Amino acid sequence: MSNTSNNQSNEELLASNAALKAQVEYLAKQVAQLTKLKMSMVNTPEESEEDEEVHPEANSSNTTREENHERGATDFKVDIPTFEGKNDPDDFPEWLETVERVFDFKDVPEEKKVKIVALKFRKYASTWWSNLSTKRRRENKAPVKTWLKMRSLLKKKFLPEQYVRDNFSKLQHLRQGPRSVEDYTREFEELLMRCDLHENDSQTLELYKDDEDFKEMYAQCLSRPHEDYLIKDGYLFRGNQLCIPRSSVRETLIDE
């Protein structure tokens, strides 16, 4: 009878360990996928005003031709949603992600992206874009022709710094608690997107240079496996909890 109980306990322990391992692997996979998407969407050098050439006003676009191209050659319509520029920052990251997905799905040429997105502006967003374009012409600056530049201007206008800071604070204190891994991962991904996080490894090293405890653990994980910690795509995790260095918190949450 005792042997039977021991066997059952061992089986339960093995099952519990297997479930925990599966949860950690699932979270790591989700983080890797999201990080790759964020790196491609955000972590690209922004164009500077100094790099722009001054040249005459560009000719007006053929609206009908752009709309026909946007519909694409598929049997079903994949469209970019309109953007009104409402005073709700939660809407902007989701809209921006959708734009990127549509561009990727339809293989939209780089030279057409700005005009296609501009067609989707409504209300305040349309007014803002018109005023911005007029101001650039008046200052003899080149029209915005690349999606990289347009995206940078959009983020500067519609993703407030305080919004990013608030969500970073939520991310820092995020805990799984009694929730499932799926629910925890979903909130983690949403906060990561709203925080506009895009540190690469070198930036991460710079952030934690003043945090000795974090730095030591990060170095240990780089040199050998650790039973409690792991590094995934430049981020340090303890189990399924994201570890954020204090120096990163200072840089993000405090005006110095």
Instruction: Report the pLDDT value the prediction gives residue 32, as an integer from 0 to 100.
Output: 60
Tens-digit pLDDT profile for residues 67-108: 554 444 444 677 888 998 887 777 787 888 889 888 888 888
How many other CB atoms sit within 10 Å of the CB of residue 82?
13
The pLDDT of residue 237 is: 73
Q: Which residues contact 131 (CB under 8 A, 6 or more apart)?
A: none
What is the reported pLDDT for 176? Answer: 64
Q: Looking at residues 175-192, what average pLDDT do you find?
A: 68
How do the domains of the chain map onto residue ranges? 26-43+162-253, 56-159
pLDDT over 70 at 164, yes or no: no
Whether the pLDDT of residue 127 is over 90: the answer is yes
pLDDT at 253 over 70: no
Note the pLDDT of residue 167: 65
Cα 71 to chain center, whole Å?
26
Would you call 194 exposed, middle or buried from its count of C-beta atoms within 10 A (0-12, 13-18, 19+)? buried
Q: Mean of the pLDDT values across residues 200-219? A: 58
> pLDDT band at residue 6, thresholds of 50, 70 and 90?
low
Whole-angstrom CA distances from 111 to 125, 208, 210, 255 are 21, 39, 43, 38
pLDDT of the residue at 89: 72
Q: Please give the mean pLDDT across all residues of the chain.
A: 68
Q: For the segment 13-36, what is each residue's pLDDT rounded down to a tens digit?
A: 666 666 666 666 666 666 566 555
Gap between the Cα atoms of 87 and 85, Å rounded: 7
Q: Give Dmax over CA atoms of the chain in angstroms.
A: 90
Q: Who has greater pLDDT, 45 or 82? A: 82
For 44, residues 6+ apart whose C-beta sits below 8 A from its C-beta are 148
Burial class (CB in 10 A: 0-12, 13-18, 19+), 176: middle
Q: What pLDDT is attached to residue 97?
A: 84
